[in-house]
Amino acid sequence: MPTIKEHLEGLLNSVTGNCKGLFSESQRYHKQFEKGKYACAVLRPTRRMRSNIGVNRELLLVASNFKDQQQRILKFVMQEIQKSQGRFENTIAMIVHLDGDGNQKLRNWGREFGISIIAINANKQIESEEDLERRLSSQLYSHDPFDVSGPVSSDYSFFGRRDEAIDLARKLQNGQIRSCLGIRKIGKTSIINRVLLEIEKSQDCTCVMTDCSRDEVFEASAEVLMTSLAYSIDLAREMETGYSNLEVQSRGCDLVQSREHLAQSIASTTRPVILIFDEIDYITPGSPTSRRWKDDFNRFWRSLRTIYQECSRSNSTLSILISGVSTYWFTVEEIGGIENAALAFVPDEFLSPMAQGASVAMLKRLGRISGLAISDEAAKHIAISTGNIPFWSRKCGSFIHRHLDTDSRPTEVGIEATVSLVRQFIREEGSAIAEVALTHLFRVHPEMADAAKAVSQGKYGEISPATFRTLSRYGIATAAGEFSGAMISAAYESLGSAVLESEAGRMEPRREDSLRDWAEDLSVLGRRRNILEKRLRAITLNFIRADALQNNKLQELRDSILKHVRSGKRPSLANVTAEELMERLDWLELSRIIMDRWELFEVIFGDRREFRSNSSVINERPDAHAKEFDQADFALYRRALTSLEKAISKLG
């Protein structure tokens, strides 16, 4: 009977014995991590392999003999890469294992950690060097490194703005007020996440994060918001990380009491206090979701300004970071006939598109990971067409990745093929993505709609210099008075007459046609969602029941469902059957069961992160919430529904 060490050595040999023309082994060692034992080999790619997979450093190969792989192996891999201090490639690693389902599990977990995992199932014998290379290529190039579904902050996904984030983190330690403005999806939340990461690593601060798009936040009064900030500061002060998400406290108090409470909480904190407000547009007089802030905006900022000024006199440090689309409400002189308390309180600091060189470098690096050698000219064309907005550029790169055959990779991507694919991307996906950003910008900053119209008509010279400068800083127009890229041009042309001139401080769709279309869209989406939800309930129940039966835990089935129900609902469901209980779950609870039992549902949905993103979109029910849905929002909603519908259709 071989020892564990010998068994692990055998797994390594099954790979290294067939990789002479692909890699050379430079080192081998064994380690224990969280009660698991692993063998590691350090592989130096040959010149051909370095070119094929786009790496310049050595690769880490890890062997694990567990029959059921767990996520801790990814933690071990990431630890070894970080400890190597740059020796190992940080975008790719290899794992040889004995788990029949391990390849998919390891690849999915790798995506969550921001790294491509090449998983090799040693149960299937590697027959030759050609066989190993074929396995490596099929796994490596099928992964889409371009696609991101939400904000990023890790070193593996965050491109082009590291120095900017570090500089902002340093400024926030010193009692400054900063802003981070820009159109939707330009990367505001990503840079906030990166700033928080930098603060946690190198700064000693107390941070409270407020996402103003949360229902409970924009529905709160000025008093409740200030009390909640005070409570959250007290909470963060006790946390080892010094960080807290805003905990909304609804207990009643007047403005004076809440202001004193917040001032006291800041004064009681020895470390600098940083208040971060993301999606600030939701708590301004132009809020698309709450009329309350027409009155409470002035009351809130008058009190916060008083506290900030007092901190500067009392040796307390308070910093504020505001992120959103527009600072319009921080620049008008009065609101409702009353002097604007926030006037000139927040500086106009924009998160503009990335530098073209950074966009090109990002696209080329991500392309190498997926086996696409994107030429400088092709990468530049993608960057220019997408306005150098990183999210848009990555979406375009993802489209190109999906439309090029993986079997022929690695392959070069030249300008001719790129021009055609970029044009197709803008027509099929890109225009709708850009429409979302433009529609939202015109709604919260109506002056930009008039400026964009002048640009579209070639009359940019008629725009006031200040307004044109703002339009340029948003990344909508170039200094030459043209739209910044084909995506924006196509989106504006597509919007056409769907958006009227500004009216009462916001853009409104044409009432008769759009209201009818909106109602029809809503009806269709509602019907599709209900059918999907009904099928998903039945599938979920069948899968967890079968698993319970197989593991002799059928008696625990009802309780396993009940634990995912919100605590306030549980007493009323204490005596219902598992079938009845499943019918009473809301969408979030149903999704939570699937996420928690992902090992059962991975075979249906594949990518856990993609399922979570689609589920979150579908939960934003336009017929049940006060949030506005424009045409592009409907398109994204339809896309999420279609993705889940296709996944469950495989079950027949």
DSSP 542-571: HHHHHHHHHTT-GGGHHHHHHTTS-TTTGG
pLDDT above 80 (res 13): yes
Rounded (10°) angle between helices 486-495 and 447-456: 110
DSSP codes of every residue in 516-537: HHHHHHHHHHHHHHHHHHHHHH
Indicate whether 10 belongs to any domain: yes
Q: Rounded to 5 degrees, what angle do the CA atoms 512, 498, 352 make?
A: 145
The token duo for 22 is 């692909």
* pLDDT classification of 143: cutoffs 50, 70, 90: low
Of 339, 364, 395, the position where a domain reaches its end is 339
pLDDT digits (tens, 9 = 90+) for 283-295: 998 887 888 898 8
pLDDT digits (tens, 9 = 90+) for 239-279: 877 889 999 887 767 888 899 999 999 999 988 999 999 99
Residue 344 covered by a domain: no
pLDDT grade for 136, boundaries at 50, 70 and 90: confident
pLDDT over threshold 80, residue 409: no
* Number of domains forming the structure of the chain: 4
Spatial separation of the C-alpha atoms in residues 391 and 144, rounded to whole Å: 14
Pick the residue with more confidence: 159 or 11?
11
Q: Over the range 354-392, which residues count as b (16 or more CB within 10 Å of their CB) and which as e?
A: beeebbbbbbbebbbbbbbbbbeebbbbbbbbbbbbbbb
Per residue in 474-488, is it b (16+ CB within 10 Å) or e — as a string?
bbbbbeebebbbbbb
Residue 227 pLDDT > 80:
yes
Does position 481 have pLDDT exceeding 60, yes or no?
yes
Alpha helices in 403-556 (DSSP H): 415-425, 431-444, 447-456, 465-473, 486-495, 511-550
330/444 Cα distance (integer angstroms)? 13
| Length of the chain as a residue count | 652
CA distance 454 to 396: 28
One-letter amino acid at 313 equals R
Of 11-15, 85-89, 114-118, which range is least confident? 114-118
In the prediction, which pLDDT does 249 show? 85
Does residue 145 belong to any structural domain of this protein? no
Percent of the chain with pLDDT over 90: 24
Q: What whole-number distance in Å separates Cα of residue 426 and Cα of residue 265?
A: 50
Q: Is the dihedral angle over the CA atoms 646, 648, 650, 652 positive or is it negative?
A: negative
Query: How does 569-580 read in b/e, with b if 16+ C-beta sit within 10 Å?
Result: eeeeeeeeebee
pLDDT value of residue 276: 94
Choice among 328-337, 351-360, 512-521, 582-591 with the minimum mean pLDDT: 512-521
Q: Which whole number is the average pLDDT over 467-479?
A: 89
Residues 490 and 518 in one domain: no
Q: What is the pLDDT of residue 151?
A: 47
Same domain, 453 and 378: yes
376 and 282 in a common domain:
no
pLDDT at 514: 43
Domain boundary among 105, 140, 175: 140
| SS3 call for 320 | strand
Mean pLDDT of 375-401: 92
In this predicted structure, the answer to whether residue 105 has a pLDDT above a threshold of 80 is yes
Q: Is there a domain that residue 156 lies in? A: no
User: Do residues 233 and 196 touch, judged by C-beta distance below 8 A?
Assistant: no
Which of 279, 314, 339 represents a domain boundary (last residue)?
Answer: 339
Residue range 346-358, pLDDT digits in tens = 888 888 888 889 8
Q: Are residues 127 and 188 in the same domain?
A: no
Q: Is the pTM of this model over 0.75?
A: no
Looking at residue 498, what is its pLDDT?
45
Higher-pLDDT residue of 228 and 402 is: 228
Judge whether 484 lies within some domain.
Answer: yes
- Percent of the chain at pLDDT > 70 equals 88
In which domain, by residue range, is 251 found? 167-339
**Average per-residue pLDDT for the chain:** 82
Mean pLDDT of 396-423: 87
Euclidean distance between the first and final Cα of the chain, in Å? 46
- CB of 426 closer than 8 Å to CB of 486: yes
CATH, residue 214: 3.40.50.300
| Mean pLDDT calculated for residue range 311-321 | 88
- pLDDT per residue as tens digits for the range 505-559: 343 333 343 444 455 556 667 777 888 888 888 888 888 888 888 777 777 888 8
- In a domain? residue 345: no
CA distance 459 to 473: 18
HSE-up of residue 524 (Cα within 13 Å, Cβ side): 12
What's the pLDDT at 52? Answer: 65
Return the closest-CA partner of residue 284 out of 371, 222, 339, 234: 222
In a domain, 626, yes or no: yes
Segment 468-483 mean pLDDT = 90
Same domain, 222 and 101: no
Q: So what's the pLDDT on residue 125?
A: 77
In this structure, are 220 and 328 located in the same domain?
yes
- The confidence score (pLDDT) of residue 385 equals 95
pLDDT at 95: 92
Does one domain contain both 302 and 401? no
Q: How far apart are CA 56 and CA 18, in angstroms?
A: 21
Phi, psi of 531 (to 5 degrees): -65, -45
pLDDT at 80 over 90: yes
Same domain (yes/no): 190, 260:
yes
471 belongs to a structural domain: yes
Asked if 240 and 185 sit in the same domain, the reply is: yes
Query: Are both 493 and 598 inside the same structural domain?
Result: no
The whole-angstrom separation of Cα 443 and Cα 628 is 11
Q: Are 209 and 273 in contact (CB under 8 A)?
A: no
What does the pLDDT average to over 558-581? 78
The neighbour count for residue 461, using CB atoms within 10 Å, is 8
Highest mean pLDDT range out of 50-54, 73-77, 565-569, 608-612? 73-77
Please state whether the peptide bond connecting residue 410 to the residue before it is cis, i.e. omega within 30 degrees of 0: yes
**Between 56 and 247, the higher pLDDT residue:** 247
318 and 424 co-located in one domain: no
Amino acid at 508: E
- pLDDT greater than 50 at residue 91: yes
Same domain membership, residue 606 and residue 457: no
Q: Residue 385: which H helix or E strand, with range?
A: helix 376-385
